[in-house]
Amino acid sequence: MARPLTLYYAPFSRASRGLWMLEELDEPYALRLIDIRKGEQKRPEFLAINPAGKVPALRDGDRTVAESAAICAYLADRFPDAKLAPAADAPERAAYLTWLFYAASNIEPAVMARANKWDVSAYQASWGGYESVIDNIAGAVRRGPYLLGPQFTAADVILGSMVRFGVSAKLIPNRPEFTAYIAHLEARPALQRAIKIEAEYVAQLKT
Amino acid sequence: MARPLTLYYAPFSRASRGLWMLEELDEPYALRLIDIRKGEQKRPEFLAINPAGKVPALRDGDRTVAESAAICAYLADRFPDAKLAPAADAPERAAYLTWLFYAASNIEPAVMARANKWDVSAYQASWGGYESVIDNIAGAVRRGPYLLGPQFTAADVILGSMVRFGVSAKLIPNRPEFTAYIAHLEARPALQRAIKIEAEYVAQLKT
């Protein structure tokens, strides 16, 4: 029998977020490598799973979830015992959803606009200016250790992955708030395992 | 006593999505006008509510939700009797979350990149190329009447608002799939009420 959870995955892509999230759970899962250098994400057999032609995608039995933030939100609610999301009626749910969606829809375009020197009107774009996005994230993680304080959630997987990548790629400034936040995230065994698994896939692809 | 739900709102902004969502519910709410032409969204009293300095934001008692898609996701789960989201354990939850996050993080940057002629690498940007985003949305609404078929959800409020605005602003092509989808949405009394309320606010601001 196929395992119920299968992540369609490519190393060094946004699929790393799904891998980390799965490692935070205590559920069996399989990784299915999609070689994006060969364009496998645009082949008909993968488009039947995710018509958007992107990794990650997650299969859970006959259900499919795409978009890394949706995968994290889905898994967090699907496996409540892991406590990776405040319950639907918990007061913290408001901040949890705010940060999950904020990360998904603001950080990447703001950072890419800056890196590519696009002329963005802060009034026109929903993400506003790069500086205000960076200030807003810094404010959110200042208290720590996580976005919601003591409780680590799926929103940290998404926002944390973006901050980790952004700082290492020098797309996000290395402010003390981010250094501390990244250190808290990297202390998590699940992220350490995900990093190790990713390295093994990278080595495998190189051979 | 203050009503429990208060939407911080500006007409002709992304706050229109929150207004439509509230009209889909059968709950009392108040609108609090934030005059974004006067920069009220950047004033300290509003930054205390939403540090990102953007409308919409929603207050529910002492909880605050920001980001239009987060507001819709929050309200749909908060008021399950309105059936604006599949339940957490329903099979349709996977597609619901996929579309909610896809809309929130792909459509706007893809459309803005096209409108502003930004040179986006489809490989680099999570949203990929404009054409593939448009094709993907068209495929999603082709079956209709809504994203999930017969069930209207909060994902239709978000994606539907973007498609309506995009087509009317000629940022999204007027394909038959979109025309049919918009007609289904505009047949909803809640959207008709939201459009009327918005028009009244616009008139009020002009005087």
Secondary structure class of A6 (helix, strand, coil):
strand
pLDDT given at position A2: 53
User: Which two structure tokens, joined as six digits, stand for A2?
Assistant: 């196929």
The parts of chain A modelled with pLDDT lower than 70 are 1-3
pLDDT given at position B1: 45
pLDDT given at position B127: 84
Q: Which of A91, A125, A133 sits opposite B63 (nearest CB)?
A: A91
Backbone phi, then psi, for B149, in 5-degree steps? 95, -125
Q: Do domains A5-83+190-206 and A93-188 have the same CATH topology?
A: no
DSSP A80: G
Task: Please state which CATH class domain A93-188 belongs to.
Answer: mainly alpha
pLDDT given at position B125: 81
pLDDT given at position B73: 98
- Cβ of A98 within 8 Å of Cβ of B54? The answer is no
- Interface predicted TM-score (ipTM): 0.95
Q: Which of B93, B101, B157 to mutate to test the interface with A (most CBs of A within 10 A)?
A: B101
Q: Return the domain boundaries, chain B.
A: 5-83+190-206, 93-188
Q: What is the pLDDT along chain B (207 residues), one digit of tens a residue?
A: 455 899 999 999 999 999 999 999 999 999 999 999 899 999 999 999 999 999 999 999 999 999 999 999 999 999 999 999 999 889 999 999 999 999 999 998 999 889 888 888 877 788 888 999 999 999 999 999 999 999 999 999 999 999 999 999 999 999 999 999 999 999 999 999 999 999 999 998 887
Q: How far are the Cα atoms of A117, B62, B95, B121 from residue B104, in angstroms, in the given order? A: 23, 25, 14, 20
Q: Which residues of B are less than 8 Å from A100 in CB distance?
A: 70
Q: Which residues of A are less than 8 Å from B101 in CB distance?
A: 67, 69-70, 73, 101, 104
pLDDT given at position B119: 85
Q: Which residues contact A150 (CB under 8 A, 6 or more apart)?
A: none
CATH of domain B5-83+190-206: 3.40.30.10
User: Which chain A residue lies closest to B95 (C-alpha atoms)?
Assistant: A65
Cα distance from B5 to chain A (closest Cα, Å)? 13
Q: Which of B100, B120, B132 sits opposite A53 (nearest CB)?
A: B132
